[in-house]
C-alpha cells in the first residue's frame, strides 16, 4: 500500500538515486520474473512479541543464521489478520513492506483474484481473544484457518506448502484430520514450535536407534502453552529411539501435592531429575544466591503448583514432563540409555527477547520446506504432541486419573538428520 507520504519520499529517493526501485505492492509478475516465491500470512493477531512478529517478519527483513544475515527468496504478498487490537502492527507492516491485508483467508491466498496466487502459506494461530474450554485449552482457530486454506486448494485444483505454528489444534480429532487432508491434497505440511530446532548446551543428539529406558523434561510456564513446548522437547529426542515412534498408550496428569508424592515415591528416575537441574541455567537459589542443589523442602516452598505428565508409550518407554514454576525458567532434558552409565542430558537454549533468534531457526525450516517442497521432519510429531496436551489436561480435570490413550497410536519414523542449530 503506497500512501502519499511514502510516494513523495520514494519519488525524492528515485531522483537522487535512479537505480533504486520505488516501493509498491508486489504483483505476480514481479515475483515470477525474479524467481522469488510468493507467500501469504494467515494469523490470529500481529503485535510486538506476538508469534506473527516472531515469524512472519523473518520473511520481511531476513534473519541471522550461522554467522550471516540471510534474506529468504520469498516475498510476503498478502495477509489475513483475524484480530487487530490497539497494539496491532499488521497495518504498519503492510504500509512499510507493500503487502495488502485482505478480509478473508480465501482472498489473501488468491491475492484478491479468483485463483490461488501464492506459493506458500504461513499459518500462525497464537495469541488473541478466543474461548477457553473446561480443560483450560484456549480454542485458537488453527483448524478453522487450515480448513479455509484447504478449501481454496480444493476449489482451485492446486496446493502449496503450509506451515502451522505450534499445536495443530486443541482438538486431537481435528489435528488428525489436518494431517489426513494434507495427504489427500498432496501438499507438504510442517508444524510445531522452536524447541526442537533451537541450540542445545551441550550440543548433543539422541543417538539414532538408541534404546531409551526412561526420559524426563524439566520446564516451566503455563499449561496448554508451555507444556506443548516441553512435550515437543521430549518428542524430538525420544522419536529417534530404536523402532521409531510407536504412539502413546496412557497419560496421567498431576498437579499440586500429588506431584510431590510421586517424586517421593520414585515416580520418575531421580538421577534424570538431577541431570536436568544440573543443566539448568536458571535454577532457583536461597536469598544469598550461592549455587546449591535445592532440597526437597526448598522445592516445595518455591514451586507453588507443580505439574507432571506421566507418559507411557506403546513400546513400554516411560517419560515424564515436569512444569516447575519457581524452580527453573528454562527447558532441560535427560534420558537413561541402555548400556550407558550416566544420563544423556542437555539444555534447550532459548535466547532472550527482543531478538529471540530461536524463531529464526524455526522459520529456516519453514523456508526450507517452502523452497524445496519437502518437510524436513514429520508433522506427525506435532499431531502426537497436540493430542498429548489434550489428554493430559483431561486427566488433570478427571481427578488426576491415569487415562488410556488408544487414539494416540501415532506411528512414524524420523530421519537420521538432526535439525537443531549448531553454529
For the chain, report the end-to-end CA distance as a whole number of angstroms: 38
The answer, as to whether pTM is greater than 0.85, is: yes
What whole-number distance in Å separates Cα of residue 200 and Cα of residue 198?
7
Fold of 199-350+383-404: Dihydrodipicolinate Reductase; domain 2 (3.30.360)
At 347 the pLDDT is: 98
At 18 the pLDDT is: 32
Q: How many CA atoms lie within 13 A of 135 on its CB side?
A: 19
Residues 6+ apart with CB under 8 A from 379: 168, 179, 182, 189, 190, 191, 192
Residue 165: all three cell numbers together: 505454528
What whole-number distance in Å separates Cα of residue 126 and Cα of residue 41?
13
At 288 the pLDDT is: 86
CB 97 within 8 Å of CB 60: yes
- 3-class DSSP state of 210: strand
What whole-number distance in Å separates Cα of residue 246 and Cα of residue 412?
7
> Which residue's C-alpha cell is 526442537?
196
Domain boundaries, the chain: 37-192, 199-350+383-404
At 355 the pLDDT is: 77
Residue 221: all three cell numbers together: 510456564
**Cis check: omega of the bond before 361, within 30 degrees of 0:** no
Closest to 234 (Cα-Cα) out of 195, 268, 178: 195
Q: Counting Cβ atoms within 10 Å, is residue 62 exposed (0-12), middle (13-18) or buried (19+)?
A: middle
Fold of 37-192: Rossmann fold (3.40.50)
Closest to 177 (Cα-Cα) out of 143, 145, 149: 143
Splitting the chain (423 residues) into consecutive groups of 10 residues, what average pLDDT does each group show?
Answer: 37 34 45 80 96 95 93 98 97 97 98 98 96 97 98 98 97 98 98 96 97 98 96 98 97 98 97 98 91 95 97 98 98 97 97 85 97 97 98 97 98 94 87
What whole-number distance in Å separates Cα of residue 254 and Cα of residue 257?
9
Closest to 331 (Cα-Cα) out of 347, 317, 351: 347
At 290 the pLDDT is: 84
At 24 the pLDDT is: 39
CB 207 within 8 Å of CB 240: yes
DSSP state of 416: S
Amino acid at each position: 500500500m503506497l500512501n502519499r507520504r511514502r510516494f513523495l519520499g520514494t519519488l525524492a529517493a528515485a531522483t537522487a538515486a535512479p537505480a533504486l526501485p520505488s516501493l509498491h505492492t508486489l504483483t505476480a509478475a514481479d515475483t515470477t520474473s525474479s524467481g522469488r516465491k510468493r507467500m501469504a500470512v494467515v494469523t490470529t493477531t500481529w503485535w510486538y512479541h506476538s508469534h506473527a512478529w516472531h515469524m512472519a517478519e523473518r520473511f520481511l527483513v531476513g534473519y541471522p543464521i550461522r554467522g550471516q544475515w540471510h534474506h529468504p527468496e520469498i516475498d510476503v504478498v498478502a495477509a489475513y489478520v483475524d484480530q487487530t487490537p490497539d497494539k496491532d502492527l499488521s497495518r504498519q507492516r503492510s504500509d512499510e513492506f507493500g503487502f495488502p491485508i485482505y478480509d478473508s483467508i480465501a482472498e489473501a491466498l488468491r491475492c484478491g483474484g479468483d485463483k490461488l496466487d501464492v506459493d506458500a502459506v504461513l499459518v500462525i494461530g497464537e495469541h488473541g481473544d478466543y474461548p477457553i474450554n473446561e480443560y483450560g485449552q484456549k480454542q485458537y482457530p488453527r483448524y478453522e484457518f487450515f480448513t479455509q486454506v484447504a478449501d481454496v486448494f480444493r476449489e482451485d485444483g492446486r496446493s502449496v506448502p503450509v506451515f502451522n505454528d505450534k499445536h495443530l489444534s486443541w482438538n486431537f480429532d481435528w489435528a488428525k484430520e489436518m494431517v489426513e487432508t494434507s495427504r489427500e491434497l498432496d501438499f507438504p505440511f510442517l508444524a510445531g514450535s522452536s524447541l526442537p530446532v533451537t541450540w542445545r548446551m551441550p550440543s548433543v543428539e539422541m543417538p539414532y536407534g538408541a534404546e531409551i529406558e526412561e526420559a524426563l523434561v524439566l520446564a516451566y510456564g503455563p499449561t496448554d502453552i508451555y507444556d506443548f513446548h516441553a512435550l515437543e522437547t521430549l518428542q524430538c529426542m525420544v522419536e529417534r529411539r530404536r523402532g521409531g515412534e510407536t504412539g502413546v498408550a496412557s497419560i496421567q496428569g498431576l498437579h499440586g501435592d500429588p506431584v510431590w508424592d510421586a517424586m517421593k515415591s520414585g515416580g520418575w528416575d531421580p538421577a534424570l531429575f538431577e541431570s536436568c537441574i544440573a543443566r539448568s541455567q536458571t535454577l532457583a537459589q536461597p536469598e544469598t544466591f550461592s549455587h546449591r542443589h535445592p532440597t526437597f523442602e526448598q522445592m516445595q516452598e518455591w514451586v507453588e503448583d507443580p505439574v507432571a505428565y506421566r507418559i507411557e508409550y506403546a513400546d513400554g518407554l516411560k517419560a515424564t514432563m515436569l512444569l516447575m514454576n519457581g524452580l527453573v525458567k528454562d527447558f532441560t532434558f535427560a534420558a537413561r540409555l541402555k548400556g550407558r552409565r550416566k544420563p544423556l542430558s542437555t539444555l534447550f537454549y532459548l535466547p532472550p527477547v527482543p531478538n529471540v533468534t530461536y524463531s529464526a531457526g524455526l522459520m529456516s525450516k519453514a523456508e526450507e520446506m517452502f523452497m524445496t517442497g519437502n518437510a524436513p521432519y514429520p508433522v506427525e510429531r506435532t499431531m502426537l504432541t497436540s493430542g498429548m496436551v489434550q489428554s493430559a489436561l483431561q486427566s488433570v480435570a478427571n481427578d488426576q486419573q491415569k487415562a488410556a490413550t488408544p487414539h494416540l497410536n501415532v506411528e512414524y519414523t524420523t530421519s537420521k538428520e538432526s535439525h537443531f542449530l549448531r553454529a
